[in-house]
Structure 1
Amino acid sequence: MATIIGITGGIGGGKSTLSTVLSNAGYAIYNTDKEARRLQNEDQNIRLQIVEKFGKEAYTNNILNRSFIASLVFSNSELLKKMNAIVHPAVQEDFRKWRGLHETEKCIFLECAILIEGNFRHYVDKIVLITASEATRIARVKKRDNLTVEQIKARMKNQRKDVDLIPFADYVINTDITDLKQFDLEKFLGEILSLPLAAKF
């Protein structure tokens, strides 16, 4: 059975960069953000629930209106909880199916910004935390997503701080000092796989 390694950390920290490096090396990656977007567009039950909670404006031409939803949920924690209550169970079920397709591999990866607070941690054996300074993260996201600093900070506010996640992590990578594109992947995998399996708490 494959060892499941969770990759987590705040927006702009470098999770997706590490996932890209791993994917290019042939490892299977489940990206919860990407799959959540797919399910929000394709799963009829999810679509109906989102429209019921947020109105018909939630979809444009059968595609989730992400800017509309973001304007609501990232400024209202209760609405964010309602959105997560709709999406998270479906993503977790989808991940369980995906996991079953990769049981014979040595290790597989679950990329999830809210691995801890979203209760995805129960699915992983090891946790890798990707960190960076707030200034670095803001600069990266501003360049990548064309968001304002205020919009980025609003999203950061809804994620736990890196310092709060460190106690849960088996391995920490600070991308202010580590260039993931020049990352020693073999050394990293050797170290992370040699660690004891994480407790399922």
Structure 2
Amino acid sequence: MSAKPFILGLTGSIGMGKSAVAAMLRGLGVPVFDADAAVHELQGPGGACIEPIERAFPGTTGPDGVDRQKLGAAVFGNPEKLKLLEAIVHPEVAEMRRAFLADNANAPLIVFDIPLLYEKTGQHGLDAVVVVSAPAAMQRERVLARPGMTPEKFEKILALQVPDAEKRARADHVIDTGVSLAETRHAVQALVHAITAGLPPK
């Protein structure tokens, strides 16, 4: 029986550079499961969640999949409806995650990219967590540069997220993206090497 892959959770608040770190990990040949991308696929054209979402929330889907604005409006401020939506989506994401695990069973290290790890999903099933972090001023500058973003929206998003300092304190590893890209890449490589070097041979 070969050893199981080491499962690393990757998370970080908005604008911290998590996507960039995920891309660096992929570049090093580490399989990365992207929870957000899985949801987009499930809610996209022909996705497995389209029919049940349309049944539960009539008029919120179309030929292009889920109309995110209409669905957002249907569940906004209504915990019961949000629970209903999560009950449709979460089991499907879990199924995709199981398939991903099976496909990569021989990899020494795999990464689960989970934006709301500390807010929602928790650390269940993970061997360690890495938090991507940057100074608050840099985070603010990055987020406000996004199309359609306003200071008010940014503050609302921040209010829903576990504070960065708390995430860093709870994490097993922290990757700093407030430095040069080369330094961040070096830190990612060092982390991958440290984890895979500590694993039993397959």
TM-score, normalised relative to structure 1: 0.79
What residue number does 2:104 align with?
102
Larger Rg: 2
After superposition, the Cα gap between the structure-2 partners of 1:181 and 1:63, relative to the gap in structure 1 and judged at 3 Å, is farther
Distance, in Å, in 2 between the alignment partners of 1:173 and 1:29 is 16
The 5 Å alignment of 1:3-18 reads 3-18=6-21
Q: CA, structure 1 residues 155+189, in 2 after alignment: closer, same or farther (shift >3 Å)? A: same
* Contact residue 17 and residue 181 of structure 1 kept, 8 A: no
Indicate conservation of the 8 Å contact 2:11/2:116, yes or no.
yes
Scaled by the length of structure 2, the TM-score of the pair is: 0.79
| CA distance in structure 2 between the aligned counterparts of 1:135 and 1:54, rounded to whole angstroms | 40
In structure 1, distance between residues paired with 2:113 and 2:71? 22
Aligned residues of 1:59 and 1:65 also touching (Cα < 8 A): yes
Q: 1: CA distance between counterparts of 2:74 and 2:163?
A: 22
Whether the 8 Å CA contact 1:15–1:130 is kept in 2: the answer is: yes
How many pairs are equivalent? 192
Cα distance, 1:165 vs structure 2: 2.6
Is residue 129–residue 172 contact of structure 2 (8 Å, CA) maintained in 1?
yes
1:72-151 to 2 correspondence within 5 Å?
A: 76=77, 78=79, 79-119=81-121, 121-151=123-153
Residue matched to 1:199: none
* Alignment match, 2:180: 179
The Cα offsets for residues 129-159 of structure 1, whole Å up to 9 and x where unpaired, read as: 1123444333323334532332333333332
Offset at 1:5? 0.9
Farther off after superposition, 77-86 or 181-190: 77-86
Relative distance call for 1:175 and 1:107 in structure 2 (3 A) is: same
Question: Partners in 2 of 1:172 and 1:66 — Cα distance?
Answer: 32
In structure 2, list runs of 5 or more residues that go unmatched. none
Partner of 1:157: 159
Q: Which amino acid is the alignment partner of residue 99 of structure 1? A: L
The C-alpha deviation readout for 1:57-115, integer Å capped at 9, x for no partner, is x2242322223444565x52625444333322221221111011101111111111112
Does residue 30 of structure 2 align to residue 27 of structure 1? yes
> Which residue in 2 is equivalent to 1:43?
47
Backbone CA RMSD of aligned residues? 2.7
